[in-house]
Structure 1
């Protein structure tokens, strides 16, 4: 999977899960269906949100995005559907072009600690995938222990 396909897939999935969450809230509040629809859609959305944020960071470092641009990419997930226009802009501007950087180049940005760690992980895809999944699960678990935004209803 290329950086482009990973990022674009999760940006789209993030928008889809916003839709699920909004539908679940309508079902809860308009049709008085209880908390279950929001708990299910919220959990799915939360998982995809965290996955998208992690992927935006990973792809951003790989593609030499600035810290500001990586932060902006993550921030788009907070606003419903904002990942879609941001994704289109990044794709049209060529900021998603290229493969994963598994080898260092002469570019000074390839010699930072973060870039070296990225390359090391990219050469071990099972470890990268497992670590990424574990990171998402730990963050998700921590947030579930803390509780939903706004407290229990």
Structure 2
């Protein structure tokens, strides 16, 4: 899966789960039911964390500027902003190319780490999934943000 495809997919999933969470909030605060937030909140939280991981991987792989990387992370905080951000970055060529699996000797540490991660996609996906789920589980124990 190319950086473009995985980033586009994760941006869409993150935006859709924002919509589900907002719908759940509308149902909750109009007195219909709390079930929407109870269901959509964790789903969106997981999608958010996954989007953050994918953003960091693509940021390093495609050598985005610090500003562009931070904007990518911030886009997950604003409802539905991940899709327009992804489209803008793709239009500028910021999602072009394959994953960088080969690095020159003496390359920066983040390039070497990225090459290891994308050179073993299934193992890396498993490890990253465990990390995301561990963070997610911890956040569930801590409780929802803002009460």
**TM class, shorter-chain normalised?**
over 0.9
> How many angstroms apart in 1 are the aligned matches of 2:66 and 2:72?
10
Q: TM-score, normalised by structure 2?
A: 0.94
Structure 1: tracts of 5 or more residues without a match = none
> How many angstroms apart in 1 are the aligned matches of 2:67 and 2:104?
23
> How many angstroms apart in 1 are the aligned matches of 2:75 and 2:85?
7
1:90 is matched with: 89
2:118 is matched with: 122
After TM superposition, give the deviation of residue 105 of structure 1 in Å. Answer: 5.1
2:7 is matched with: 7
> How many angstroms apart in 1 are the aligned matches of 2:72 and 2:82?
7
After TM superposition, give the deviation of residue 32 of structure 1 in Å. Answer: 3.0
1:140 and 2:136 equivalent? yes
| SS at 2:23 equivalent | helix
**How large is the RMSD of aligned CA atoms in angstroms?**
1.4
1:81 and 2:83 equivalent? no
CA shift digits 1:64-98 (9 cap, x unpaired): 11233212101110000111111110010000000
1:1-153 correspondence runs (5 A)? 1-33=1-33, 35-104=34-103, 111-151=107-147
> How many angstroms apart in 1 are the aligned matches of 2:127 and 2:111?
17
| SS at 1:99 equivalent | coil
| SS at 2:137 equivalent | helix
Q: Which runs of 4+ in 1 moved over 6 A?
A: none
Q: TM-score, normalised by structure 1?
A: 0.91
